[in-house]
Structures are given as C-alpha cells and as structure tokens.
Copies of this chain bind each other. A is one copy, B any other.
C-alpha cells in the first residue's frame, strides 16, 4: 500500500508492536525460568529494546510512534487495573480482618515516612519529590505476590490470605494516594486544602461512579446479554472501563482509577466469568506494551557503576531499597496473632511492581522526579521485585511448622486471575 501520504507507516508500527510483544514474552519467559517474576522480564525487555540500548521502541511522546506506544501503553495499564478491579472482592477484605488491615496501614505509613524523611534529610528540606518518593514506597504489587504464593503452593495458607488481603487494601489506598500524588504532580504545589480536595474528589468520584455503576451495570449488562452481535460482551466491558477511565481523566484523576472502579463494579454482574475470560486475551496483548514502555524509559547509561556521576544514583537506589524492605517487614510484625510466620508476611509485602512504577512514571512525566531520581526509584522497584520470590521461597520452606494452614483448603485462590499479572 502506498504510505507516502501517511503520518505513520503501517509496516513500521507493526514492527514496533511485534518487537514489544515478542521481547516481553521471551525475556518474561527467561525470568520465569530462572525463578523471577515475568513482569521483571518485561521491564528488562523494555530496557533492551528502548532508546538507550537497541533503540527499536520509541517512548518519547513527541515522536509520532512514541506517542502511539504511549497511548497504547495507557490502554494497557487501564485494562490491567480493570482486571485487578474485576478480581478484587470488597467482601473478602472483611474476611481477612484486622490482621490484613493492620499490615496494609502500617505498610503504607512506615514506608511513606521513611521515604519522606530519607529525602528530607538527603535534600535538606520538604519538597514534592520527598512526598513522591514516600508515595512510591507505599505500593505493594499484589500481582507479583499472588503469583509467587501460587507457584509455591501456599496460596491457601493464613499468611497468604493476610498478605493478599493487605495487598488488596494497599491497592485501593494506593489508588487514593496516587490520585493525591497525581494532583500534586499537575498543580505542582503542596496545599492541605488541595490534598483534602483531591482526596474528596477521588473518594467522591469513586463513590459516585461506584453508586451509579452498581445501580446501572446490572441492567446495562442484562441488556448487553440479550444483544446478538458478535463480541458484544467483551466490547462493552472494555468500553465501560475506557469510559470510567475517560471520566476519571476528565475530573483530573488517573485514567486507571476509573478503570479499577469499572472492574470493581463489573465484578458484581452476572456476566462476570465471561468478562474475565474474554478480557484476558485483550489484556495479554495490551499490558506488555505498558511494562515494555516503562522499561524503555530507563536510561541504562545512568546505571553504569564505572561512571563516577552514577554512584549517587546507585547509592540512593540502594538506600531506598533498604528502606523499602524495612518498612514492609516491620508491617508484617504488626500482626497480633502468634501462630504465624510474620517475617514471611512482611517479605510478601515487599515487591512494589507495577503500582510503584506507575507512581514513578507520573513523577517523571510531571517533572517532579528527575531522570536520576526516577532511575534510583526504578532500582528500588526492580530490586524489591527481584529479591522477593527467592526470599519468600526460603521463608516458606524453612519454617513449615510456623506456617498456619487454612481450614478451607478447597476454597479457590483469592485472586486466580491475578496470578498471571506479575
């Protein structure tokens, strides 16, 4: 086809799409094989195909192809959060009870404080950057945790249920923190009124969206169920997610907040099983674009220890990593029950994964994190994600007597669909 008149060449876009999907799956598989989360492999794949190594996948939004990758990555992360929302059952949080809540809350407060204070003393004063670094440390990647516990066959242990319950609470609180932090990134100031307003806006949006959604989704999807055209269910589910993402974007929140709310709403419809099953291949195609594009934003030259200027980045990254581990492990010890492996719970909360990356990317795009600080945060995210699977394996295998087993072993895993998210 004659493409001369076109803004972008179809063939070249196909090439970029192929490189993204192929590198994500191949390096993801490699990491899976060496006992690491596949999501880490997708990030590394992004680093390899990105501008600073092979230069195959552009992510600069000022470049036509980079803009396309960026937009499709946003669709990908929206579908990812939509899936997380679909798999999140609000009632399950009440079941796992006070232990999970304690771990989640302590696991947000301590890392935030540690991160904020670390940067406060490092830079010599309060700043948006300090708040952002604190926020980045609060995240827990429930996908990575659930996946590792499934692989270890420990998904029905008491520890696993507390970890997953806490991670789910973390996800929801994290979305609110994200909303606040994102508002800060766009307004650029710290204002108590602003924070309260953004928090109210976030809660208000979620409440209104959830209320309208829960009220209307059932009959909308009953109507959809009676429609005859092909693919109508998966299309309407995606439209629903994109629409709430669009509305969230319209009121100044992150699109993913809306997509997550859409998932929570649709998890209560009768068509839930079909939606989960059919959105999965769509997510498989779109979400790697997000992780690869995040990796492709890393400038590897900054990580070279032979370059003197990089020593600071590496030191800051190492400092953040230590803080990140201590904060979450301490949260594990906040559980009051005695018959439980508290160290394993804390370790299970350590990986920051995609949520931490989202925070870091917003900070980078908003100009709050410099490329250097972004790289340091990325070192922390990658290190926490990398270190968890082998440590968890060790902890669950060394202390089998301490590992309380759940009485309802035949219960399905809490997050079956999530196990593949990492």
List the number of copies, as a whole number.
2
Q: State which residues 265-312 of A face B: CB under 8 Å.
A: 278-285, 288
Interface residue range, chain A: 35 or more
Determine if A325 is an interface residue (Cβ-Cβ < 8 Å).
Answer: no
Pairwise interchain contact B365-A5, C-beta atoms closer than 8 A: yes
Which chain A residues (7-40) contact chain B, with CB distance < 8 Å?
7-8, 10-11, 13-15, 17-18, 21-22, 24-25, 28-29, 32-33, 38
B70 touches A68 (CB 8 A): no
- Which of A88-96, A103-111, A230-238 lies at the interface with chain B? A230-238
Interface string of A61-72 (1 = CB under 8 A from B): 111101110110
User: Are B285's CB and A18's CB within 8 A?
Assistant: no
Whether a CB of chain B sits under 8 angstroms from the CB of A56 is no
A339 within 8 A of B: no
- Please, which residues of chain B bring their CB within 8 A of the CB of A254? 1
The answer to whether B250 and A11 touch across the interface, beta carbons within 8 angstroms, is: yes
Chain A 370-399 interface 0/1 with B at a Cβ cutoff of 8 Å (1 = within): 000000000000000000000000000000
B285 & A235 in contact (Cβ 8 Å cutoff): yes
A186 in contact with B236 (CB, 8 Å): no
Tell me how far the C-beta of A376 lies from the nearest C-beta in chain B, rounded to whole angstroms: 21
B11 touches A288 (CB 8 A): no
Interface assignment of A239: CB less than 8 Å from any CB of chain B: yes
Interface residues of A (CB under 8 A from B): 1-2, 5-8, 10-11, 13-15, 17-18, 21-22, 24-25, 28-29, 32-33, 38, 41, 61-64, 66-68, 70-71, 74-75, 78, 182, 185-186, 227-232, 234-236, 238-239, 242-243, 245-246, 249-250, 254-255, 278-285, 288, 362, 365-367, 420-421
